[in-house]
Amino acid sequence: MKRVYVNEKWCLGCRLCEYNCAYANSGDTDMVRALRGKKINPNIVVEEYGDINFAVSCRHCADPICVKSCISGALSKEDGMIKVDHDKCVGCLTCVLVCPYGCIKEGEHGAVSKCELCLENSCGEPACVKGCPNRAIVFEDRG
Amino acid sequence: MKKYVIIGNGAAAVGAIEGIRSVDKEGGITVISREPCHVYARPLISYLLQGKTDKKRMLYRPESFYEDNGVKVMYGRAAVKIDPEGKKVKLDSGEEVNYDKLLSACGSDPFVPAFEGIETVKNRFGFMTLSDAEALEKELSEDKSVLIMGAGLIGLKCAEGIAERVGKITVCDLAPRVLSSILDADCASLMQERLEKEGIEFLLDDTAVRFDGNKAYMKSGKEVSFDILITAVGVRANISLLKEAGADCGRGIVTDEKMQTSLKDIYAAGDCAESVDSTSGQRKVMAIMPLAYMQGRCAGVNMAGGEEIIDNAMPMNSIGFFGLHCMSAGTYEGECYEEKGEGYIKRLYTKDNLLKGFILIGKNARAGIYTAMIRNKTPLDSVDFETLKKTPSLAPMGKSYRTEKLGGVV
Ligand SMILES: Cc1cc2nc3c(=O)[nH]c(=O)nc-3n(C[C@H](O)[C@H](O)[C@H](O)COP(=O)(O)OP(=O)(O)OC[C@H]3O[C@@H](n4cnc5c(N)ncnc54)[C@H](O)[C@@H]3O)c2cc1C
Ligand code: SF4
Ligand code: SF4
């Protein structure tokens, strides 16, 4: 299946992906209105480490420990994509405690939030990848 | 066609069903379920009382789960005897069920010490099952006082669940602090303060020695009046079926890495099983939901002829009360790295070049990076731990780790 992969040598750490993610998941049609003056809480996070930068989002693990650990059954795998059912999630954060890549986080309204490859919002394909000027993240099928 | 029988219908049973079906799509699966209902998420019973979920949303798997997986569920039946030679299970209804592979996934039951006069208490509840929660809910009203015995996870989750719906809550515990099995004194007092802010009162280092109707007489000499008594002092693994059948048992049913018991073709998983805590090397019952599922799944795969082992189990918990979250994992031994602030504690325990355990209260973003380091036994000198201990992140794990995890399928 297609997932988001990182080319860390091309990443400038500009954080455009974080903004594009927050916008795509805001449900708003106006980027300025969606983001201005707000602290964004994107599902992709740029790490900075010396002169290394890269953007991390859910790996959509083949054997997802978050799904196995969820205490409510809110996490599931659908055609390889790991999804949160926001109605079922009670925000216990057990999934945050187990995700090895730090890719699931407290969201709004008491449920967690994670990358769902923009398949659950109106974008339809990962907004982070689409907006990256350097191809430092790509959406590809590597198995 | 193989015949699989599962005793119990909780997270471990679901793991087993999914594990079996990942290997064997044909074999017959029978679940013997003492509770007369579809599998629900047990930890959600407090969220149910809090109004954060409902009976439909708290189903641990979709309504079509058993049908989709070709599972026959015998609701409202309990297994009463296992015959390991004849390979059959006897039920309370007198029926017998034959098996080729059997799983004990029968969890634990609350344990209530024989307090003097406890039979004189009319409104007394446990807090383990959906039916416990529903029975308790009927009695809740804002003019009532509640005494909860037990300041462990279950007692406190119950307190949080009903806090808005009753007049007064007092929690007592024999231990000198709340959540005594997972927290030390400092961390426990942070959690206690949060609960006290909601008006919950504590009587620690104290317990009831005698009851008389609506009154508890405490060890300290205090008297506590209540309308509702909730007992949450502890649970015990359901081992008796297997023990009588001759399986090795400690506090739980002894299992190996494949979740097999000492009896041929019989497996155990979840709260009824005892296995090795990889962070301390000790055998114990680790009664947590993620492990119940994973052990069940591992047992299921092996029962169906596949191969899976669990050699990295450890205690871990993420629990929150009124928005303050506390995460813990592993064993608290070795050197301690500490950060502390207003409403925030971080403690990492390292020993022998390994991260062994942690407690995080207040801030917990990306905590799973630490959990994975414990689980994978990542040598600390192979990573930049100075950076990691301040900020859990992937960059300090090194280039090859990043290339593998962020550039390939994991
Ligand atoms: C209020 C509460 C909050 C919790 N919160 C958390 C949490 O936040 N995080 C966490 O990790 N864990 C939590 N837990 C613990 C978690 O619920 C358990 O670890 C988990 O449910 C264990 O799953 P299991 O399948 O082993 O057992 P169970 O879910 O207990 O299922 C066992 C089933 O077997 C049935 N059974 C028993 N004997 C027989 C028999 N002879 N015949 C037929 N059926 C039988 C029982 O009726 C039961 O339905 C909580 C527990 C409670 C009660
Ligand atoms: S949230 Fe974490 S554990 Fe779950 S699929 Fe994504 S990367 Fe894997
Ligand atoms: S926070 Fe939500 S998705 Fe995560 S484990 Fe808890 S219930 Fe499941």
Atom number, ligand 1, closest to the C-alpha of residue B273: 26
Write the pLDDT tens digit of every residue in B146-197: 999 999 999 999 999 999 999 999 999 999 999 999 999 999 999 999 999 9
Among B50, B106, B132, say which to mutate for ligand 1: greatest number of ligand atoms within 8 Å of CB: B106
User: What pLDDT score does B352 carry?
Assistant: 97
d(CA B221, CA B231): 20
Q: How many domains does chain B contain in total?
A: 3
Picking from A5, A70, A77, the residue whose alpha carbon sits closest to that of residue A44 is A5
CB contact, 8 Å: B43 with chain A?
Answer: yes
d(CA B150, CA B148): 6
Write the pLDDT tens digit of every residue in B378-408: 999 999 999 999 999 999 999 999 999 999 9
pTM of the model: 0.97
Residue with CA nearest ligand 2 atom 2: A99
Q: Is residue B183 in some structural domain?
A: yes
Q: Is residue B316 in some structural domain?
A: no
Q: In terms of domains, do B191 and B205 share one?
A: yes
Which of B182, B309, B328, B366 is best to mutate for the A interface (most A CBs within 10 A)? B366
Could you tell me if the CB of B277 is within 6 A of ligand 1? no
Q: What is the mean pLDDT of residues B268-274?
A: 98
The residue segments making up the domain with residue A72 are 60-114
Q: In terms of domains, do B335 and B351 share one?
A: yes
Question: What does the radius of gyration of chain A's CA atoms come to, in whole angstroms?
Answer: 15
Mean residue pLDDT across chain B = 97
Nearest CA distance, A28 vs chain B (angstrom):
26
The residue segments making up the domain with residue B13 are 3-109+236-303
Say what the ipTM of the complex is: 0.97
Q: How confident is the model at residue A108 (pLDDT cuts 50, 70, 90)?
A: confident
Q: What is the mean pLDDT of residues B194-206?
A: 98
Which residue in chain A has the smallest CA separation from B320?
A: A92
Q: What is the DSSP letter of A8?
A: G
* CB–CB contact B372 A90 (8 Å): no
Q: CA dihedral in degrees (B75, B77, B78, B81; nearest 10)?
A: -130
CB half-sphere exposure, B346, CA atoms < 13 A? 13
Q: In terms of domains, do B100 and B126 share one?
A: no
**Residue ending a domain, choose from B206, B233, B260:** B233
**B positions 290-309 inside 8 Å of A (CB):** 290, 293-294, 297
User: What pLDDT score does B108 carry?
Assistant: 98
- Cβ atoms within 10 Å, residue A46: 20
Q: In terms of domains, do A7 and A24 share one?
A: yes
pLDDT above 90: residue A35: no
